[in-house]
Amino acid sequence: MSDIPLGVLDLVPVSSGSTAGDALRNSVDLARRAESLGYARYWFAEHHLNPGVAGTSPAVVIALTAAATSTIRLGAGAVQLGHRTALSTVEEFGLIDALHPGRLDLGLGRSGGRPSGRPAASPATVTPVVDGRAPNGLRIPPRFSFEHLLGSPRVALQRTLLQQPGAESQEYGEQVDDILALLAGTYRSAEGVEAHVVPGEGADLEVWILGSSGGRSAEVAGRGGLRFAANYHVSPGTVLEAVDGYRAAFQPSDVLEKPYVSVSADVVVAEDDEKARELATGYGPWVRSIRTAEGAIPFPTPDEARAHVWSEADRALVQDRLDTRFVGSPRRVADHLAQLQEATGADELLITTITHGHEDRVRSYELLAEEWHRR
């Protein structure tokens, strides 16, 4: 499987008993190690108001990491456009590209943005799922509903704090078009006024669209002929819908002649299955804290995680994520990743690994790279 590149998706997790500074230093160190291990790209997610996640500004963390690495591609997975403008996004990444040209991936997400006002196109074909499995056996759990999060006071507060009073988000597809035009130097306002971004215009960026379903994000990526990243680790129940929707909408562009897909997965690797399961013990309570809209807690130790008292409601919140983690020995996890790649037709895989101990996380990526490259 070494012809399928592996990348890293990093949330900059804060472990219990540590600080945001520790998390940032660990992430920069992990990026250096990932570069030496042959990982193709290293992306930072964007999250806010989460005590256990320090990755609040992908552009800032990318800039810090670019100075500490030399060859690995660095990117955002993803910049959340709901509270940003096209101009600020291009300017931020243009600044980094000015010092580190040709190494940046601009991943764009639509969290918190204004709805498009029209339904997205349905995929022409949908990969069948029978008894919770794709045709090759990949587990596809029932679709998880995020509706309870949309009405959460905490989510509403986040939106209020991120946006200027009275501001209205631009429609996602229009905003992506504006970003592409600013990068290309072809932007014109409705009145015909030109805008040229320096630095930013002409920056050698790979633009990606991230999406968890076959809806608006998949449509925007497809009709724009852009690269698409589907989130099996966030919404495993809709990953096939997402990639099918993207491919159905795809139109060749100056960027791509055919669809190009990356798919993410939650992974923990250790020398044997038992040790990997122990390292992954904190995952359940951590996901629960996110899906209750409380905000991600600092990632717990195995003992701290075992002390959590589970209710049936708690388990229902996290079961799809627990069922679709790939945890175990290098061979076991690589087999699962190969199955994910086959089911989705992914051109790349994006690995996100969180453990309480930094060296355990580094070792997980090391073991996986060794196993993957020997296949």
* CATH number for domain 6-280+325-373, candidates 3.90.100.10, 3.40.50.450, 3.20.20.30, 3.10.105.10: 3.20.20.30
The pLDDT score that the predictor gives to residue 111 is 75
The pLDDT score that the predictor gives to residue 217 is 96
Domain boundaries, the chain: 6-280+325-373
**Average pLDDT rounded to a whole number, residues 63-81:** 97
For tokens 């199955």, name the residue: 339
| CB-based contacts of 245, cutoff 8 Å, min separation 6 | 120, 121, 122, 123, 213, 214, 215, 218, 219, 222
The pLDDT score that the predictor gives to residue 337 is 98
Whether the Cβ atoms of residue 373 and residue 254 lie closer than 8 Å to each other: no
Task: Express each pLDDT in 105-153 by its tens digit.
Answer: 999 998 754 444 444 444 555 789 999 999 999 999 999 988 877 778 9
Beta bridge partners of 210: 229
Task: Express each pLDDT in 28-66 by its tens digit.
Answer: 999 999 999 999 999 999 999 999 999 999 999 999 999
- DSSP H or E run through 346: none
Task: Express each pLDDT in 151-164 by its tens digit.
Answer: 789 889 998 999 99
Threshold 0.85, pTM exceeds:
yes
| Interatomic CA distance for residues 278 and 298, integer angstroms | 17
| CB-based contacts of 60, cutoff 8 Å, min separation 6 | none
Q: Is the pLDDT of residue 233 over 60?
A: yes
Whether the Cβ atoms of residue 364 and residue 355 lie closer than 8 Å to each other: yes
The pLDDT score that the predictor gives to residue 125 is 56
The pLDDT score that the predictor gives to residue 115 is 47
Q: Is 119 left (phi over 0), alpha (psi -120 to 50) or beta?
A: beta
Beta bridge partners of 268: 327
| Interatomic CA distance for residues 159 and 150, integer angstroms | 11
The pLDDT score that the predictor gives to residue 117 is 47
DSSP 374: T
What is the residue-wise DSSP string for 279-313?
HTTTHHHHHHHHHTTS-PPPBPPHHHHHTPPPPHH
Mean pLDDT of the chain: 94
Give which of 337, 324, 343 is closest to 372, Cα–Cα.
337
The pLDDT score that the predictor gives to residue 147 is 81
What is the residue-wise DSSP string for 130-157?
BTTB-TT--B-PPPPP-HHHHT-HHHHH
DSSP 70: S
The pLDDT score that the predictor gives to residue 123 is 54
Q: How many residues does the chain have?
A: 375
The pLDDT score that the predictor gives to residue 48 is 94
The pLDDT score that the predictor gives to residue 113 is 47
Confidence of residue 1 (pLDDT cuts 50, 70, 90): low
The pLDDT score that the predictor gives to residue 15 is 98
Q: Mean pLDDT lowest for which of 30-44, 114-128, 215-229, 361-375? A: 114-128
Whether the Cβ atoms of residue 327 and residue 333 lie closer than 8 Å to each other: yes
DSSP 255: S
